[in-house]
Amino acid sequence: MESNAKIGTDLIKDHVRQLPATPGVYRMLDSAGNLLYVGKAKALRKRVNAYTKLTGHPRRIQRVISATAAMEFILTETETEALLLESNLIKRLKPRYNILLRDDKSFLHILIRTDHSAPQILKHRGRRKKQGEYFGPFASAASVHRTLDTLQKAFLLRNCTDAMFESRTRPCMQFQIKRCAGPCTGEILPEDYNELVDQASQFLRGKSSTLNEQLNSQMSQAAEMQDYERAGDLRDRIRALATITANQMVNPSHVSEADIIAVEMQGGASCVRVFFFRAGQNWGERAFFPRHDTEATAEEVLEAFLGQFYENKTPPGLILINVDVPGNALLSEALSVRAGRNVRIVRPKQGEKAKLVQNACTNAKNALQRHLAASASRTRQLKGVQEIFGLAHMPNRIETYDNSHISGSHAIGGMIVAGPEGFEKSKYRKFNIKNKDINPGDDFGMMQEVLTRRFARLAKEIEAGEADIPDLVLIDGGAGQLSAALKVVEALGLKGQIKLVGIAKGRDRDAGREQFFVPGKKPFRLPHNDTVLYYLQQLRDEAHRYAIGVHRRKRAGALIRSLLDDVPGVGPTRKKAILAHFGSAKQAAGASLADLEAVKGLSGQMARTIYDWFHEQ
Q: What is the pLDDT of residue 409?
A: 67
496, pLDDT greater than 60: yes
Do 192 and 266 reside in the same domain of the chain?
A: no
Residue 496 shares a structural domain with residue 518: yes
Q: Is residue 115 part of a domain?
A: no
Check pLDDT > 60 for residue 511.
no
In a domain, 76, yes or no: yes
Q: In the chain, how many domains are there?
A: 5
- pLDDT exceeds 70 at position 41: yes
User: Are 301 and 325 in the same domain?
Assistant: yes
Least confident stretch, 416-420, 515-519, 606-610: 606-610
Q: 346 and 295: one domain?
A: yes
Beta strands in 424-514 (DSSP E): 429-432, 472-476, 500-504
Inside any domain, residue 253 = no
* Position 509 pLDDT exceeds 60: no
pLDDT of 282 over the 80 cut: no
> Tens of pLDDT along 547-596?
888 888 877 766 556 577 778 888 878 888 887 787 777 788 888 888 88
Q: How is 219-245 classified by DSSP, letter by letter?
A: HHHHHHTT-HHHHHHHHHHHHHHHHHH
- CA 382 to chain CA mean position, Å: 26
Q: Identify whether residues 308 and 282 lie together within a single domain.
A: yes
**314-326: pLDDT as tens digits:** 888 999 999 999 8
Q: What is the pLDDT of residue 576?
A: 80
d(CA 543, CA 6): 47
List of long-range contacts for 520-528, beta carbons under 8 Å, 24+ apart: 523/478, 523/479, 526/388
Amino acid found at 395:
P
- Among 93, 127, 146, which residue terminates a domain? 93
User: Is position 98 within any domain?
Assistant: no
Q: Are residues 221 and 149 in the same domain?
A: yes
Question: What domain range is 80 assigned to?
Answer: 2-93
Strand (E) or helix (H) holding 45 = helix 44-49
Determine the pLDDT at residue 249: 42
- The pLDDT confidence band at residue 3, using thresholds 50, 70 and 90, is very low
Q: What is the pLDDT of residue 518?
A: 92
Checking if the pLDDT of 104 tops 60, the result is: no
Query: Would residue 523 count as lying in a domain?
Result: yes
Least confident segment among 88-102, 142-156, 240-254, 546-560: 240-254
Helix/strand/coil percentages in the chain, nearest 5: 45, 20, 35
Residue with more model confidence, 388 or 220: 388
168 and 214, same structural domain? yes
Q: Within 13 Å and on the Cβ side, how many CA atoms surround 5?
A: 0
Is residue 1 very low, low, confident or very high in pLDDT (cuts 50, 70, 90)? very low
CA-nearest of 40, 39, 46 to 15 is: 46
Is 432 within 8 Å of 555 (Cβ atoms)?
A: no
Identify whether 109 is part of a domain. Answer: no
C-alpha distances out from residue 555 to 405, 428, 476, 565, Å: 9, 20, 22, 15
Q: How far is residue 617's CA from residue 533's CA, in Å, rounded to a whole number?
A: 49
CATH number, domain with residue 351: 3.30.420.340
Helix, strand or coil, per DSSP, at residue 33: coil
Task: Report pTM.
Answer: 0.66
Do 473 and 366 lie in one domain? The reply is no
Q: What is the pLDDT of residue 345?
A: 94
Could you tell me if 415 and 469 lie in one domain?
yes
- Domain boundary among the residues 63, 93, 123 is at 93
pLDDT value, residue 25? 93
Q: Which residue has the higher pLDDT, 455 or 235?
A: 455
Cβ–Cβ under 8 Å, residues 263 and 302: yes
CA-to-CA distance for 13 and 6, rounded, in angstroms?
10
Rounded CA-CA distance 44/61 in Å is: 17
**Whether the Cβ atoms of residue 102 and residue 59 lie closer than 8 Å to each other:** no
Give CA–CA dist 469/455, Å, rounded: 10
Residue with the larger pLDDT of the pair 225 and 516: 516
pLDDT higher than threshold 70 for residue 398: yes
Q: Does one domain contain both 277 and 242?
A: no
Residues 449 and 538 in one domain: yes
- Residue-wise pLDDT tens digits, 19-37: 888 999 999 998 888 899 9
For residue 510, pLDDT over 60 is answered with no
pLDDT tens digits for 328-338? 889 999 899 88
Q: What percent of the chain has pLDDT over 70?
A: 92
Domain boundary among 190, 224, 246: 246
Nearest alpha carbon to residue 402 among 260, 544, 267, 302: 544
CATH of residue 599's domain is: 1.10.150.20
Quote the pLDDT of residue 2: 45
Q: What is the CATH number of the domain that holds 68?
A: 3.40.1440.10
**Quick check: 395 pLDDT over 90?**
yes
One domain for residues 86 and 171: no
CA atoms within 13 A on the CB side of 294: 3
Q: Does residue 506 form part of some domain? A: yes
Asked whether residue 540 is assigned to any structural domain, the reply reads: yes
